[in-house]
Structure 1
Amino acid sequence: MFHYTVETNKSVNEAVSALETALQEEKFGVLWDFDIKETLENKGFDYDRDYRVLEVCNPKAAKDALTQNHMIGYFLPCKIVVYTDQGKTKIGMPKLTTLIALIEDDSLDTFAEDIEARLISCIDQSVNE
């Protein structure tokens, strides 16, 4: 499976807040918080579910990876989505190991595994907080 997704009993806003706290502990910053529902409604389109896309980055890890292979920039920053689906809030992300495999540079495997594990830990922590 190309993604990691979990459910939480929190609202989307509560889940985003808990996620931001967990990300800060891992030295990830939220570069952008894109509220898709709000943006579509501002453009005159109805969208019936809350859907936020967080673009997150750990600057040191990004610099190290880009120094190793500039093609990793195609997958930066990392994305985490928080949305409602059939009355449940879900938090998910594409698996970095799957994305990085597309570059076909085995030297990036350890980097991808580390960042993926750290982001999954942040997601899990935000659900259990």
Structure 2
Amino acid sequence: MSQIVFSVTSPSDYPTTVKLVTEALKHEGFGVLTTIDVAATLKAKLGVEHKPYIILGACNPHYAHQALQAVSDIGALLPCNVVVREEEDGRVSVVFMDPESVLGLIADPRVEQVGREVAEKLHRVARMVGK
């Protein structure tokens, strides 16, 4: 089975890392379509405390368009989710969906190419924010 995520540890604190990830995504042509504050949701819905944890739904419109043109149902696998979370020891992890693996499930050469190109961009984002 292919690895469906890759991750880095940020040398910065949680709020700074969220900002750095968002800026690095923008630098690579991504926008953040959705922001899900998992910790806040768990607190509001269940009364449960959780370490800071956010899911950013990142989308590069150019590549999303290419993928949708190839396979209209591909939207079920979009956007590329990026998780920023504070670990128990205080470290901050940034976890990226691996679009090459996930989009490779489609077994369409056009979509696989999109997956490769988007993965390259997300790996650059990881290098910008990781150590």
Aligned pairs for 1:37-76 (under 5 A) are 37-76=39-78
2:20 is equivalent to residue 32 of structure 1: no
Distance 1:71 1:100 in 2: 11
Distance 2:11 2:88 in 1: 12
Query: What is aligned with 1:119?
Result: 122
2:89 is equivalent to residue 105 of structure 1: no
Distance 1:68 1:48 in 2: 40
Unaligned ranges ≥5, structure 1: none
Contact 1:28–1:57 (CA<8 Å) still a contact in 2?
yes
Contact 2:98–2:119 (CA<8 Å) still a contact in 1?
yes
Query: What is aligned with 1:84?
Result: 86
Q: Number of residue pairs matched?
A: 128
Unaligned ranges ≥5, structure 2: none
Distance 2:55 2:130 in 1: 17
Normalised TM-score (structure 1): 0.90
Query: 1:117: Cα distance to partner?
Result: 1.1
Distance 2:46 2:113 in 1: 44
Which amino acid in structure 2 is aligned with residue 11 of structure 1? D
Query: 1:47: Cα distance to partner?
Result: 2.9
After superposing on structure 2, the runs of 4+ consecutive aligned residues of structure 1 that deviate more than 3 Å are none
Which amino acid in structure 1 is aligned with residue 34 of structure 2? W
1:82-118: CA deviation from partner (whole Å, max 9, x where unpaired):
0022321100112111111211213322210110110
Q: CA RMSD in A?
A: 1.4
Which amino acid in structure 2 is aligned with residue 116 of structure 1? A
1:4-40: CA deviation from partner (whole Å, max 9, x where unpaired):
0111121221111001111111111011111100111
Contact 1:51–1:83 (CA<8 Å) still a contact in 2?
yes
